[in-house]
Chain A
Amino acid sequence: MQSSSLTEPSLLATNMKKNILLIVRNPPFANSSNAETLDIAFACAAFDLPVSLLFLNDGILQLANNQQSNLLEKKDLTNNFRALAMYDIEDYFVIAEDAQRYQLTQNDLILNCKIINKDKMAALIRTFDTVINL
């Protein structure tokens, strides 16, 4: 057996892995969709699938720091979202216009995000094989 044929199956497997974009578009505490998106992210990580997240529109508010959920009596997902890096999910995007609208800068966000302009969003989304939008 040639050595190249030993490496080929693994290369093939890597190339066949679909990269996934999860779009978080709801504000925190609105419903369970952000928690469900997180669940998908963790499940993908268990299968070694490459996952990125785009926090779109009100979704950027999920990343705002200093949330105070005690009055709402709802679970604050901030610490759960911070755990993404421990699952080797570290590719996060926000839209500049959303950040501007809510006057959020990188310092206000719990994750270190790439900030892109809205007119680049379509091109970004097209780079993914699968887009999940809850």
Chain B
Amino acid sequence: MNKEQAFSLLDEEGYLLDLTLWSKELALALAAADQFELSENHWEVIDTIREFYQEYQLSPAMRPLVKAMSIKYGPDKGRSIYLMKLFSQSPPKQAARYAGLPKPLNCL
């Protein structure tokens, strides 16, 4: 998927309009447009955030994302400093964008 195809699916803030249209290719295209490389560690966060959305029907802010990471991958990865080092922008927002989820609310 190229950048133009990926961007045609987004709202003006860069979040996916139709959540059912998400694919790994889309995540890769969005990251590439940010000149951001997705490692195994990033995919863990993207998977976690998608599971969170499935269960709670909302995109997590920092605290619940940290908690969900901690539950799934243990305390070393369930820390905000870990997530902040991993991402270049606000982790809940950047990860939600790549994960094809709505913009998280109440996110500082």
Contact = CB atoms under 8 A, between A and B. Distances in A.
Interface of A: 39, 42-43, 45-46, 79-80, 82-83, 86-88
Contacts of B60: 83, 86
Contacts, number: 42
B99 interface: no
Interface stretch (B2-10, B31-39, B63-71): B63-71
Interface of B: 52, 55-58, 60-64, 67-68, 105-108
A87 B56 contact: no
Contacts of B67: 86, 88
Nearest to A75: B57
Given A83-B64, A87-B63, A88-B63, A46 B57 contact: no
A83 B62 CA distance: 13
Listed residue (B52, B56, B68) with the most chain A CB atoms within 10 angstroms of its CB: B56
28 contacts: A39-B105, A39-B106, A42-B61, A42-B105, A43-B106, A45-B61, A45-B63, A45-B106, A46-B61, A46-B63, A46-B107, A46-B108, A79-B55, A79-B56, A79-B57, A79-B58, A80-B57, A83-B55, A83-B56, A83-B58, A83-B64, A86-B56, A86-B60, A86-B64, A86-B67, A86-B68, A88-B63, A88-B67
Contacts of A43: 106
Contacts of B62: 46
A87 B106 CA distance: 11
